[in-house]
Each structure stands twice: as structure tokens, then as C-alpha cells.
Amino acid sequence: MTHYAANKFSATTPIYYVNAKPHLGHAYTTIVADAVARWHRLLGEDVHLLTGTDEHGLKIQQAADAAGVSPQQFVDSIAPKFEQAWERLNITHDDFIRTTEPRHAVGVKKLLQACYDAGDIESDFYRGQYCVACEAYFIDDELVNGNCPIHNTPTTFVEEENYFFRLSRFEERLLKWYADHPNCITPGFRLNEVTGFIKTGLQDFSISRKTLTWGIPLPWDESHVTYVWFDALANYITAVGYGTDDAAFNANWPVDFHFLGKDIIRFHCVYWPAMLMSAGIEPPKGWAVGGWLLAGGEKMSKTTGNVVNPLDLIDDIGVDGFRYYVLADTVYGNDGDFTYEGLISRYNSDLANNLGNLAARIATVVEKKCGGIGPTPSLNSILAAAAATAVADTSAAWHSVQPSRALEATWGLIKATNAYLENNEPWKMEPGEAVDTVMGDALEALRIVTILANPALPTSTQEIWRRIGLTGEITDLRIGADTQWGQYPSGRQVVKGEPLFPRKK
Ligand code: MSP
């Protein structure tokens, strides 16, 4: 991948269905995208992070009917819950698109028209099994005991006149594109899944429904509204100006990474690049595909009923504690098993015992042995090498969208610093040069840790920064220049403060 050299970095999350409130699964993908975006800002890149809500379609219409309100009233009541959740989770998106916005409708119509003019959208009859929860048709072979393979609920037989996108014409073009861009999907094994699927032969897919009214009408036949995926995927381009601001669009597309869960990989890695190719638009540069967060072995979702509200967990563990858990506990790309015990145990070991303890210990010893003023580090400290390794490994891991490995590398420096303190036992020393050397080195290591851990723990790292006497915002610093060993200044007052991560039972 070539993202290192670029001075622009753009990323998107899926846009979430507003048939239900945000849950842990939504929060997971959004926090990963946010942390990666924050890392790229620390690299000095011009970052654009997009998220939003998917508000059209049968699923939403049915949820509105069930609530006894109009679809518009319904989506207007749920969409703000996503915005509030992201604010609470400290998500730094630059834009939030709702598919009911006018800018979106304009761009969707332009995209539809471009594919229609290219001859890739045609009218035909559809007969097949449809899953409302997925908003997708399935062929018989894909059903499991007659049920939807994702939701394990019965599908419905549907026969109607639809417009179809001729996906079957794109097999060769897609395979060639993937052969030319072998590193575009992370983790890499997902690329094989995508190309394997393309090689089994692609089916044309339906893009419109006559029976549905809650959606965007086709520009050439207003008796149809476009079907959910054509509408939803287009958000990635309509948000950056497609159809409304050509200059902005040309400056911001193609996107560096779409973040998504493995459940929607076909739509993102097969349908979407084909739709873009048809319309004469460059496909995305990259996709970062996450696994599922499972609760009791099942994908957490409204349909299966095992939904954990992330906001309830924050009350318990703090925003940073929660962000850290979802970033550190699951290797991005693999499935993760959410348990409350796992959350508490990771919080206690990594945050309370490691980072929290290091910060508290340093402040205590500096207060007792150095008169509360932080000493400066020595340039040939053995911690300097540990810091350089942590910076290099943390950078490489964020670069390849591996937050858990990035945090592991950062925590390597925390552990080395705790070990350095235990070996030297500065708390047993008399005040003087020797204790000053040890504490200056520990402060410098902690300074570097707070920068490296900032994308995961934005609030508590800033608080540590302040407590060790440093000023300004970590988010204004740069990986590289500001993570070089030896910059902790002289004469700064170090304060202990309340425990940042009190131990939980
Ligand atoms: N609206 C579509 C996406 C359109 S994108 C152009 C959709 N929405 S969704 O709300 O059902 O889920 C979106 C994404 O949320 C999933 O692809 C996945 O990234 C994330 N997750 C939802 N549940 C999840 C888990 N239990 N675990 C991990 N991620 C999950 O699909």
C-alpha cells in the first residue's frame, strides 16, 4: 500500500441502518476507523473521516410502520442517536451523511443515470428469495435449510419487474483490477475470498423496486425507487461532492479505506467497484474488513436479540476504557468474543495495572525524590532503544490497520519502563543525580507513550500529558519529530492526581 507517502488520508465507516439504536457492533467498526484516522492526523496528514446513516428501504419502512409514524419521522428520531453515540465515544468524523439528505439524492440519481447510459442497467423480471433484514436476494444454493444464511430467518419469495445492474459483465474487469491492486484489501485473505467469489460467476442484481416508496426514484422511470444497496454505497461519493461539487469530488476521491464488517464484503468489494467502473469512476484504493464481535458465539445484532448498548458500558468503564478494549482485544479482521469479564480483565491489566500504575508511580517518586519537578532524560538511556522500537512497531501496525498490534507495541514500552523502575528501585534511593536519571528516563518514556496511545485513549493520554507538566494538545504533535527520544524538558511540575483507571471488580 502507498498510504505512507500521501499527505491526504480518507476513510469511511459503513452507514448504519436506523431501524435500531447504535450497538456494540456499530461502535466497534466506528472506533477502529476513528483510531486509524487519528493516527493519520498524528502523521500530519490531511484526514477526512466519513460516517453516517442508511435511512431508506423496506426494513426502515417496516420499523416506522411498527412504531406508527412516517418513515421520515422515524429516521429523524433515530439518526441523532448515532450522532450522539459517536460524540460520546469521541469519534472525530469530519462528515456525517444521512441518505435522506438532498445532496445524497442528487448524487445517487447521477450515478444511476451514468450506469443506465453506459447500458449496464436494464429492465427484467425478478423471481427469487428475499431477506428483508439483509435487504438482499439470495439464490437457492445460498439458503441454509431454506433460511437466510446471515439471519437464519425465513426468506420471502418475490416476483416482480425490476431494473437490474448487469454485474455479470464485470467479472473480467474486476479480476483484472484486483490483479493490478493486490494489496488493496486488508487482511489479505479477504482478497482471495473476493476473487474466489467473482470467479464462481457473478449474477446481475436488482437495483429497484416498484412496490417500495421509501427511497430515491430512478431518474428515467419514477415508478421505481432504487433498492437499498445502490442508494447506500453511493454515500461514499455523494458525501464528497459527487453530483453537487465536482472539484471537491475530484480532490477527495478515491477514498483510501472503506472500513466495513465481513458481512457486507460482497457489496463493497464486488458490487461497488463494478458500479463505479460502469459510471467511469475510479474504484476505492483500499478496504479494511473487520470480523464480527460475537456475544455468546453469535453476531451481535438486533435480529438475534443479543445487543449490548455501548453507552451502558461507558458508564462503567469510561470512554477510553471502552475504546481501548474494542481496539486491543480483537485482532482486526478476526471475530472477537465480547464478554463483560473480558472487558474488566483487560481494563485492569492494561490500563489500571500497566499504564495507570506507571503514571502514578512516576508522579509519586518525582514528588518524593525530585521535589515534584521532572528531571530531564539521559540520551543514552536503555529505554531509548525500547522507545525507538515501540515507535517503529506501533507505526507499522497502525499503517496496516492492526490496532491491537499497535497497542501491543506501545504497551511494550510501558512494560519496559515499569521493568526499568523495578530494576532500579528509585523509591529506595536518596535524592540526587542517580534518582534524577532514572526518573527523567521514565518521564521521557511516558511522554512518548502518551503520544503513541493517543488515538486509542484521547482523553486520558492528554490528562497524563498535563500531569507530567507538558502543555499544548497531543493532537498537534507529530509521530517522528515529537517521538524522538530526549525531549522531556527541564523544570516541569509533575502532579499525581486521582487514579486515571481505578481498578474494577
Ligand atoms: N446499512 C448497511 C451498510 C451500508 S454501507 C454502504 C448495514 N448496516 S448495519 O447497521 O446493519 O451494519 C453495518 C456494519 O456494522 C456492519 O457491516 C459491520 O461493519 C458493523 N457491525 C454490525 N454488527 C456487528 C457486529 N456484531 N460485529 C462487528 N461489526 C458489526 O449493513
Q: What Cα–Cα distance (Å) separates residue 268 from each residue in 257, 276, 287? A: 11, 11, 8
Residue 30 CA to ligand 1 center (angstroms) comes to 10
Residue 94 binned pLDDT confidence (cut-offs 50, 70, 90): very high
- The Cα–Cα gap between 262 and 46 comes to 28
Residue 387 binned pLDDT confidence (cut-offs 50, 70, 90): very high
Question: Closest residue (by CA) to atom 23 of ligand 1?
Answer: 25
Residue 427 CA to ligand 1 center (angstroms) comes to 50
- DSSP state letters, 140-192: GGG-BTTB-TTT-SB-EEEEEEEEEE-GGGGHHHHHHHHHH-TTSEESTHHHH
Question: Counting atoms of ligand 1 from 1, which one is nearest the CA of 264?
Answer: 17
Q: Read off the pLDDT of each residue in 391-403 and give the average, rounded to a whole number.
A: 98
Question: Counting atoms of ligand 1 from 1, which one is nearest the CA of 232?
Answer: 6
**Ordered alpha helix ranges (H), 19-133:** 24-42, 58-67, 71-88, 102-117
Mutate-to-test residue for ligand 1 from 24, 28, 82, highest number of ligand atoms within 8 A of CB: 28
Burial 304-323 (b: 16+ CB within 10 A, else e): eebbbebbebbeebbbbbbb
Kindly report the pTM of this predicted structure.
0.93
- The Cα–Cα gap between 284 and 281 comes to 9
Residue 261 CA to ligand 1 center (angstroms) comes to 6
Percent of the chain clearing pLDDT 70 (strictly above):
96
**What pLDDT does residue 134 have?**
85
pLDDT at 5 over 90: no
Query: DSSP state, 334?
Result: B
Percent of the chain clearing pLDDT 90 (strictly above):
82
Residue 329 binned pLDDT confidence (cut-offs 50, 70, 90): very high
Q: Mean pLDDT score of the chain, rounded to an integer?
A: 94
For the annotated catalytic residues, the residue numbers are: 23, 26, 131, 134, 148, 151, 299, 302
pLDDT at 228 over 80: no
> DSSP 3-state assignment of 504?
coil
pLDDT at 302 over 70: no
- The Cα–Cα gap between 343 and 317 comes to 9
Lowest-pLDDT range, 78-92, 261-275, 287-301?
287-301
pLDDT digits (tens, 9 = 90+) for 143-165: 998 899 989 999 988 888 889 99
Question: Which grid cell is 337?
Answer: 468474543
**What pLDDT does residue 125 have?**
86
Residue 80 CA to ligand 1 center (angstroms) comes to 18
**What pLDDT does residue 489 have?**
98
Residue keyed to cell 465481513: 262
Binning the chain into helix, strand and coil, the percentages to the nearest 5 are 50, 15, 35
Question: Counting atoms of ligand 1 from 1, which one is nearest the CA of 54?
Answer: 1
Question: Counting atoms of ligand 1 from 1, which one is nearest the CA of 263?
Answer: 17
Q: Read off the pLDDT of each residue in 400-423 and give the average, rounded to a whole number.
A: 98
**What pLDDT does residue 365 have?**
98
Give ∠ CA 106-107-109 in degrees, rounded to 5: 70
Residue 493 CA to ligand 1 center (angstroms) comes to 46
Residue 304 binned pLDDT confidence (cut-offs 50, 70, 90): low
pLDDT at 372 over 90: yes
**What pLDDT does residue 16 have?**
96
Residue 268 CA to ligand 1 center (angstroms) comes to 12
Query: 3-class secondary structure for 298-322?
Result: EECCCCCCCCCCHHHHHHHHCHHHH
- The Cα–Cα gap between 441 and 423 comes to 13
Query: DSSP state, 417?
Result: H
**What pLDDT does residue 4 have?**
45
pLDDT digits (tens, 9 = 90+) for 341-351: 888 999 999 99
Q: Read off the pLDDT of each residue in 176-201 and give the average, rounded to a whole number.
A: 97
Mutate-to-test residue for ligand 1 from 56, 135, 264, highest number of ligand atoms within 8 A of CB: 264
Residues in the chain: 505
pLDDT digits (tens, 9 = 90+) for 422-442: 999 999 999 999 999 999 999
Ligand 1 pocket by Cβ (under 6 Å): 14-17, 25-26, 28-29, 54, 232-233, 235, 260-261, 263-264, 292-293, 299-301
**What pLDDT does residue 294 have?**
83
Question: Counting atoms of ligand 1 from 1, which one is nearest the CA of 291?
Answer: 28
Q: Which residue has the higher pLDDT, 55 or 128?
A: 55
Mutate-to-test residue for ligand 1 from 12, 59, 151, 260, highest number of ligand atoms within 8 A of CB: 260
Question: Closest residue (by CA) to atom 22 of ligand 1?
Answer: 25
pLDDT at 363 over 80: yes
